[in-house]
A and B are shown apart, each in its own frame.
Chain A
Amino acid sequence: MTEWTLSRALNEALRHALRADGRVLVFGEDVGVSGGVFRVTDGLQAEFGDTRVFDTPISEAAIVGSAVGLAFAGWRPVIELQFDAFSYPAFEQIVDHVAKMRMRTRGRVDMPITIRIPSFGGIKGKEHHGESPETYYAHTAGLKVVVPSNPQDGYALLQHAIRDPDPVVVLEPKARYWTKGHVDLTADEREIGRGRVIRDGRDVTLVAYGSMVARITEAAAQLADAGIDARVVDLRSLSPLPDDLLRACAEQTGRIVVVHEAPRHAGFGAEIAARTMELAFDSLAAPIARVTGWDAPYPPASLEDGYLPSVDRIVAVTKETVAY
């Protein structure tokens, strides 16, 4: 066990992958000498050289598109798209090619590409630096999408993403980069597609991913004071969706509250709610509730707190759901 920030844990995962597999390449904007704007690639170029770890021009489509060609040439690209909104210029390459190329080649060419995207809000960032792009990617067949919420998951999920023969989008919650946590370096169970129960409870299940996991954990503590025993679930994987866990939560607690930063309309909470109803409608004692960002563009820093689901909102909605 060691104690790292999420940024450091991701950095160590990259270091481990670069050591373990000589075909792993790490590239993107400012990932070389600078070590990445969130320092996730800090020291990697010095250790592995500028053949394995290198800066690219500011050109997200070429970063992702060249990763496709590199995969054809037998390399294992791990790329950083600097901020959520800056993944959009590469959207065509991700959706049209990264996600589909294996099928298009009848399985002759794998796309073992890892796309790291610092994502979500909560850091008082400029506009275009607080987006929640998860639904775009989770909706795309052929991609896997994971969201680590803590250093342990960052260390494990990123390594699994790199080892995975399929393309994996790793959405890293910017607001959690500097939060420390224990990391067990030996933990190596099959990770992608598995959610985690962080706190058990029997009255209601709070489901979230990324930064919102910390908020539902805090909300559960407040709810406990009010006599409500809330289970806390970190989804960790949006595609594939850990739907067995959702079914179990519905069956065991009967009530579910989903929390995410993204707008509510067609947000990922809709998929969680629909899937849970398909699997366990008869077990539900209340409508599945959603506590989300508003259906408005991500606001300026000074309005951010009113946009993101607050602990108070989560607690209030959960109480309504339990009282239903």
Chain B
Amino acid sequence: MLLSELKKAFQPLLDISHKEKSVEVMGIKITLRSLTPTQEVEIQKCLPDLQDSESSPIEFVDVFRMETLAHAIVEVQDQDLRDKEFIFTGEETPSGVAVKMTKIDAVKDVMSAWPRPVLSLLFNHFTSLVEDLENEVSSAISTEPDLPEAEKEIGEKRALDINRALDMEQVVSRQSEMASQISIVEDLKFSDALKEVGT
């Protein structure tokens, strides 16, 4: 069987397995798409090593979100990024060659300027897209013979995903809480120091 024939055979399966969702963030229309296993592996490779004591959970969560969204965004405004691997930056080298960067790096570059709540909102949209896809696939698919054990395990894994997303939220909120506590302490110390200077 040729690769083209194989792709043709797989196309119906690929069609039902993906879903896209368009959302508007800060006035920009962004289209998100479900990930492929290869993309998921690429994301995992970019994540900081949690055994490394220098990387914190919040850093992990930030990188995870950024990488996931960079792979999931397939359209910004009218710019279709689906089949694009590289994007031209608009700059040129001294020799006159147009500078280009990978689509992933370009999207990350843009997103790095976005505040954390915006990234968080976009990531939530992505999570709900995955949830919708799970529901659609789950209602459309059936097996012969029935595999109730499989459905149970899939349900458990979905619950695990939801818990993981909640854990990430927890990490972020803990971090924000800690940051606010530090600022209170710092403010008090600062005011005490001022008092001491006054006396």
A and B: real partners?
A: no
Q: Which residues of B contact A (CB under 8 A)?
A: none
